[in-house]
Copies of this chain bind each other. A is one copy, B any other.
Amino acid sequence: MNPRNRTNFSGGPGVLPESVLQQVQQAIIEVPEVGLSILGISHRSEWFAAAVAELENNILKLLGLSENYHVLFLQGGATQQFSMVPMSLLHGKAHPAEYLHTGYWSGKSVADASRQGPIRVVWSGAESGFLRLPGDDELSFAPEAPYIHYVSNETVEGLQFQRVLGRDDVPRICDMSSDFLSKPCEAERFSLIYAHAQKNLGPSGVTVVLVRDELLAEVPDNLPGFLDYRSHAQAHSNFNTPPVFAIYVVLLVTRWLIGEIGGLANMARINRAKAELLYKLLDSSDGFYRGRAESRDRSTMNVAFNLRSPEMERRFLAEALAAGFSGLAGHRSVGGIRASIYNGLTLPAVEKLAGFMEDFRRS
């Protein structure tokens, strides 16, 4: 088996666009306008401050947001946000924050928030095995809640909300780690959005947080600086040494989204085309491939499915790997197969996978 030139369909870290990788490769030796390796440029340099400013603007621009949002580049992944959000907004509150439990990752957010203060689980899909998302008729949100929190796309189960949840008079907080910048998201309806980079935006090691001005006023004064959104906002993500390289790669990805893709509406069209190709293949396979999620709630990012038996799935994974398709095993918590098709994964790459799947079914 030749390992060269595989395509990465794993749940993350995901594929980055070829043109971005080429620029990164150059920057490892020398960022052209600086004359230094991107791995050895001072985070206090004017060049880096300008890079962060451009990246902040690119993200606001892609989302159509005005300047009453701060864009922060933090460390610690979504996991750190699971705690930072309630540490910032839940301490000393009389009413519980409202959480949706729609899969593996929102389950983690619920557990971590519970350690910080009172929360109420508005809806849970645990009993039904996280095969679907709630309809509006199943949801009722309290006006006095300090905030509502949900996960827009459940990476493990392949479930994605196709609408904005909650109520406009309660701050909406969303973990968009696995679909941020994959499509327009009505960002102006959210008070705080967070997303680690390693699905659609860049390498692991940096987390984007978008937070409205007003929310910062709620943060208590007794948090260590690195857990205080305000320190990072005031310092434009240079409160302490930021992950310079990862931030630079995210900058290149946003330039690609704006310049080569032409914005999030175009990105969404490409991502839908990729997902529809695979879902159609599942649905027309006479039950050979069976999609995991209910059709209405299917994710454009993570196509999770099963074959007829675990043995057949093992054979599928082995043959797929030999054919150059890497990372197709489902998450260890649910098994099965999962094709993650983030921004950087091209339609031709998905077509190749679809071709392999057709062949495998026939053989």
Binding site for B on A (CB under 8 A): 2-6, 8, 10-16, 21, 24-25, 28-30, 32-37, 39-45, 75-80, 82-83, 112, 115-116, 196, 198, 202-206, 222, 224-227, 239-246, 249, 324, 326-327, 332, 344
B79 touches A344 (CB 8 A): no
* Cβ-defined contact, A241 with B13, below 8 A: yes
Closest Cβ–Cβ distance, residue A206 to chain B (whole Å): 8
Would A8 and B41 count as touching, CB distance under 8 A? Answer: yes
Contact A29 B25 (CB under 8 A): yes
> Do B37 and A16 touch (CB < 8 A)?
yes
A40 to B4, alpha carbons, bound, how many Å? 14
Given contacts A4-B35, A25-B25, contact A205 B243 (CB under 8 A): yes
A82 to chain B, nearest CB (A): 8
Which B residues touch A3, using CB under 8 A?
Answer: 32-35
Residues of B within 8 A of A33 (CB): 3
Q: What separation, in Å, do the CA atoms of A240 and B83 have in the docked complex?
A: 13
Cβ 8 A contact of A39, one of B6, B13, B82, B112: B13
Per DSSP, chain A at the interface is loop
Contact status A249-B6, CB under 8 Å: no
Q: Is B76 touching A76 in the complex (CB atoms < 8 A)? A: yes
A210 CB to nearest chain B CB (Å): 20
Which partner residue on chain B sits nearest A42 by CB separation? B10
CA distance A3 to B46 in the complex (A): 14
Determine whether the beta carbon of B30 is less than 8 Å from that of A4. Answer: yes
C-alpha gap A226/B204 in the complex (Å): 15
Give A238 Cβ to nearest chain B Cβ, in Å: 11
A26 to chain B, nearest CB (A): 9
- Inter-chain CA distance A41–B10, complex, in Å, is 8
Inter-subunit contact B14/A240 (CB<8 Å): no
- A8-B36, A21-B37 known; A13-B43 Cβ under 8 A: yes
Residues of B within 8 A of A204 (CB): 43, 241-245
Residues of chain B with a CB closer than 8 A to A30's CB: 4-5
